[in-house]
Chains A and B, each alone.
Chain A
Amino acid sequence: MTRVRLISMLGSYGVVLALLLLILFGWARYDYFLGFFNITSVLRYNSMFALVALGMCFVIMTGGIDLSVGSTAALGSVVAALASPQGAWIGLGAGVGAGLCVGLVNAVLVTRLKIMPFVATLAMMLAASGTALLLADNQSVSVSYESGFTSIGQDNFLGFPIPAWIAIVAYVIGWIVLNFTSTGRAVLAVGGNEDATRLMGLPADRIKFLVYLVSGGLAGLAGVILASQFGAGQPIEGVGWELFAIAAVVVGGTLLTGGVGSVGATLAGVLLLGILFNVLNFENGKGWISLSAYWQSVIRGLFLLVVVILQAKLSSRGTAAAREH
């Protein structure tokens, strides 16, 4: 177990190190890479993915998975856009509420009906997407520009984009919950060994219920940011977000089998994948090479490949060592 923890820590530091190296590379190579505009726009855009990945991280730590986050975000963006004429806060609340509803259904399916998380959240992915399309009448829904709703996604607070603030607050809360509360320890315990957790008298089902609910709520929040940043609720956005989030969580060293994980490394994973995009854009701007946007997914895939192979190598060495003892 300690060995596994060591590997996960190695993974966490590895991702932070890779992130720093990538930033250093960008800073040395491109003029405006660490410019205010670039930093804020990267953070503004990636805060949505950061929120979704945070929820995913907690779900994965319990040994589950949430495939519905992408279409939940789309649903959240549509609901928020529809509610935005009533005011910024109401739009925000409506979007998050829609996300919580999806999370609630996921939680009930997984903990009460005992349906495998993969299937339950796959079904909810379809259902949320269908609901978003129905509500939006198959097109994007323009948000209200009078109610101040758009400032959630577009304005700054203390010189820093509001979506980035939201993500930072969410991650700080996530970090505290995981490391300093009994709920956080229980999340890891459920993922480590669910039956043992139950026998120890910990409320395993309640913990799982909670993580799916939170994941839905965070996805809804990401949807609110999406709608206010781009001025429209977009029912067909969010395709593939769940897999991006899973990739970020995996890159952050969280094992998909559950039981280990780190909130900070997940954030580093999100930023790493996001900045990889950014570096590619800068590289194209330099004109040395011209990689079309299509290369980005290839490079992301390759990146994920390297990470998972490294992880697998490290952990197989870990289990081999454990067997010797």
Chain B
Amino acid sequence: MTDTTRQQHLSRPFDPFDFMARYGTLIALVLLILFNLAFTRNFATTQTLNVNLTQVCTIVIVAVGMTLVIATGGIDLSVGSLMAISGALAPMIFLGKIVPIDNIALAVAAAMIISVGVAGLFGLFNGWLIAKFRIQPIVATLVLFIAGRGIAQVMTNGNLQTFRVPQFQFIGLGRIFGIPVQVVLMALLVVAAAWMLKRTVFGRQIIAIGGNERAAELAGIAVSKVKLVVYAISGLCAGVAGLIVIAINSSSDANLVGMGMELDAIAAVAVGGTLLSGGKATIIGTLLGAMTIQLVRYTLLANGVADAAALVVKAGIIVLAVWIQQQGRRA
């Protein structure tokens, strides 16, 4: 796995916990796939692959932003509400409810840019609260968690917006070379974020802040600026995810879009091996974490286990993953 802190463990004797902490998620994923190949009917089909990939896409996209936020030692509870805002705003624009736009391509482009931009601005607002006022991230983002969905509901008056606009829904239903568009988007985002975190100064600054904020500040890192950008990125990711969700559904319901997404994203990040206290992060791990959780749920559902029971299992996986990682760190 891409462990960005690159600890010197090579000379030590083999430690099972450390091994599990590093490769546990990957092993779990492989085991799950093997189990499904053996026991779940029709598992090795492109349809299964597509179902799982499209379902996990939005979680991964949000979780990438969340990983960066958590890497700085923060948390973003507002992502689900921001999804609802961007999901509510986009149809209002391309359906011409705010300003009528004749050219549909132009309208769709404006809708995408503006709604994702607005989500980014709200993310920036989170960052502003955290960087300027030094409000704890959990409280600062709680504000928009509560108010954000309300804003989306007020904008749409709580009404369902339905639409059939193929130009827009391309991002949720279209395909590029047979691959769903949102999967391509997800892959690009994951690669870009992983590269940024590992290879750029900005990425190293994020990790440094999460590791020891005071030290990072003394080392000359513009802590406030980095935090602003990180929360803005998280907002942008949530905005994109909101668009994908409504594109898939052909409708936007401000009451439902992104509901509970913050928990799914945090769970994916935690299972993926990113430290929730900050200072160590892995984007690929987050991707694997999200896929593991998704595949567990799929496995249970495909084998006739109730969705409610899947929740309990998910809880167990989160606790187990975090516990193993802690043992690995202690060793």
Contacts and interface: CB of A to CB of B under 8 A. Distances in A.
A116 B308 contact: no
Most buried by B among A246, A292, A301: A301
B322 A305 contact: no
Interface stretch (A124-132, A178-186, A221-229): A124-132
A38 interface: no
Interface stretch (A44-52, A107-115, A155-163, A164-172): A107-115
Contacts of A323: none
Nearest to A65: B138
B104 interface: no
Contact of B139 (A109, A114, A250): A250
A119 interface: yes
A181 B147 CA distance: 39
Nearest to A300: B146
A141 to B, nearest CB: 14
Contacts of B306: 133-134, 138
A130 B308 contact: yes
A130 B312 contact: yes
A202 interface: no
A304 B143 contact: yes
Contact of A294 (B75, B158, B309): B158
A301 B318 contact: no
The A interface, classified by DSSP as helix, strand, loop or mixed, is helix
Interface stretch (B26-34, B49-57, B149-157, B282-290): B149-157
Interface in B277-310: 277, 306-310
B143 to A, nearest CB: 5
B315 A126 contact: yes
Interface string B55-86: 00000000000000000000101000000000
Most buried by B among A124, A132, A133: A133
A105 to B, nearest CB: 9
Interface in B231-276: 263, 266-267, 270, 276
Interface residues of B, number: 45
B202 to A, nearest CB: 26
A114 B142 contact: no
A313 interface: yes
A131 B157 contact: no
Contacts of B151: 298
B323 interface: yes
Given A243-B145, A246-B142, A297-B146, A256 B308 contact: no
Contact of A308 (B77, B140, B316): B140
B146 A126 contact: no
Contact of A292 (B139, B157, B311, B318): B157
Given A256-B136, A296-B150, A316-B134, A115 B315 contact: no
Contacts of B319: 109, 113, 115, 119-120, 123
A115 B323 contact: yes
A69 to B, nearest CB: 14
B142 A243 contact: yes
Contacts of A114: 326
A10 B151 CA distance: 31
B133 interface: yes
B124 interface: no
Interface in A275-325: 292, 294-302, 304-305, 308-309, 311-313, 316
Interface string B143-171: 11111111101100110000000000000
A312 B143 CA distance: 14
B134 A127 contact: no
A166 to B, nearest CB: 26
Contact of B308 (A119, A134, A311): A134
Nearest to A310: B133
Nearest to B323: A113
Given A116-B322, A129-B308, 11 more contacts: A115-B326, A131-B312, A132-B308, A133-B306, A243-B145, A294-B157, A297-B149, A298-B147, A298-B150, A298-B151, A312-B134
24 contacts: A109-B319, A115-B319, A116-B276, A116-B277, A122-B266, A123-B315, A125-B315, A126-B312, A127-B312, A129-B308, A130-B308, A130-B312, A133-B311, A246-B142, A250-B139, A250-B142, A256-B136, A297-B146, A297-B147, A304-B146, A305-B129, A311-B135, A312-B133, A316-B134
Interface of B: 75, 77, 129, 133-136, 138-140, 142-151, 153-154, 157-158, 263, 266-267, 270, 276-277, 306-312, 314-316, 318-319, 322-323, 326
